[in-house]
Amino acid sequence: MTQVRPFDIRDHIAGPAGFLGSAANVIMQLGWREVGYGVLESKVDSGNVMLRPWKRLRTTISYLVVALFGTEADRATYREAVNRSHVAVRSSADSPVKYNAFDPALQLWVAACLYVGFRDMRLAFLGPMTEADADGLYRYCSRLGTSLQVSLESWPADRDAFEVYWAEGLARVRYDEPVRQHLLALVDLQMIPRWMRVGNGAMNRFTTVGFLPPEFREAMGLTWTAAQQRRFDRFVKVARGGSRLLPRWARMLPIQLQLAEVRMRIRRGWSLT
């Protein structure tokens, strides 16, 4: 009798290549106007990617690492830190839409985007999954929401239910011009010094637009030709070969180092966000 191997999230980490879809995922999250304006109008300058890009990169990665690999104590501590930052993220009388960073519906959308991004990077760089692994990954990624205000009951019950939720969420995707311009600046790496953009800016735009699902690409008004898709497919194929050659311990090493850094910050009472 064949024994079914228990699901292990460590088997599904793409390694460094997985970061190539980061900017695309940010665009997806901000596809709901409430989330987009919440980020655009946020008064929490310490978390503004255009003002403090390296800190924002660290805190974003830290959240993902803690949500997926941290203990319950790690997650609770990080939740408290994020909550303190979110207190000031709420709409004003002049905001185009009403929003509140504590809104579980908005957090569910962000978590759903993170799951889709994680799933797509895993498929792109490690290849297809069995149905059992796909189900296991989906259930495990509920932590991306429950690490904040999303209740487990709010996470769609299974992958079929998620697809229904996702289709409904896509129908709400819209980028007002101020949010769109903010995201284009992110795509073109305008938050980092000019000399660092040479080569990196073009590559970031290429991978970002390539990894965006068509619905988001169209909503952003971004062009993507058949020739670009063929080039992108070749690029992903090469990167997939590199990811598959990396042993699991090597793909997990950056995550373990980041989790260790978060725990050091907790011990020393340093800011997490």
Domain contains 4: no
Asked, for residue 3, whether it belongs to a domain, the answer is no
Cα separation, 152 vs 264, whole angstroms: 29
Residue 73: is it exposed, middle or buried by C-beta count within 10 angstroms (0-12/13-18/19+)? exposed
Domain of residue 257, residue span:
9-268
Q: Is the pLDDT reported for residue 120 higher than 60?
A: yes
How buried is 156 (Cβ within 10 angstroms: 0-12 exposed, 13-18 middle, 19+ buried)?
Answer: middle
Residue range 158-201, pLDDT digits in tens: 999 999 999 999 999 999 999 999 999 999 999 999 998 998 99
Does the residue 273 lie in any domain?
no
Residue-wise pLDDT for 63-117, tens only, equals 999 999 999 999 999 999 999 888 889 999 999 999 999 999 999 999 999 999 9
Q: Are 47 and 59 in contact (CB under 8 A)?
A: yes
Q: Is residue 20 part of a domain?
A: yes
Answer whether 211's CB lies under 8 Å from 253's CB.
no
Taking Cα atoms as reference points, which of 164, 137, 154 lies closest to residue 68? Answer: 137
What is residue 1's predicted lDDT score, i.e. its pLDDT? 44
Percent of the chain topping pLDDT 70: 99
The answer to whether residue 192 sits within a structural domain is: yes
Spatial separation of the C-alpha atoms in residues 40 and 117, rounded to whole Å: 22
Residue 210 has pLDDT above 60, yes or no: yes
Residue 106 belongs to some domain of the structure: yes
What does the chain come to in residues?
Answer: 273
When divided into structural domains, the chain yields a total of 1
Which alpha helices (H) appear in 45-148, and where do they start and end? Answer: 53-69, 72-86, 104-126, 131-140, 143-146
d(CA 12, CA 251): 9
Average the pLDDT over 5-25 and give the result. Answer: 92
The pLDDT tens digits of the residues spanning 236-258 come to: 999 999 999 999 999 999 999 99
Question: Would residue 2 count as lying in a domain?
Answer: no
DSSP class of residue 158? S
Decide if pLDDT at 48 tops 70. yes
Cα–Cα–Cα angle for 66, 71, 72, rounded to 5 degrees: 100
More confident residue, 147 or 50: 147
pTM: 0.94
Asked whether residue 41 is assigned to any structural domain, the reply reads yes
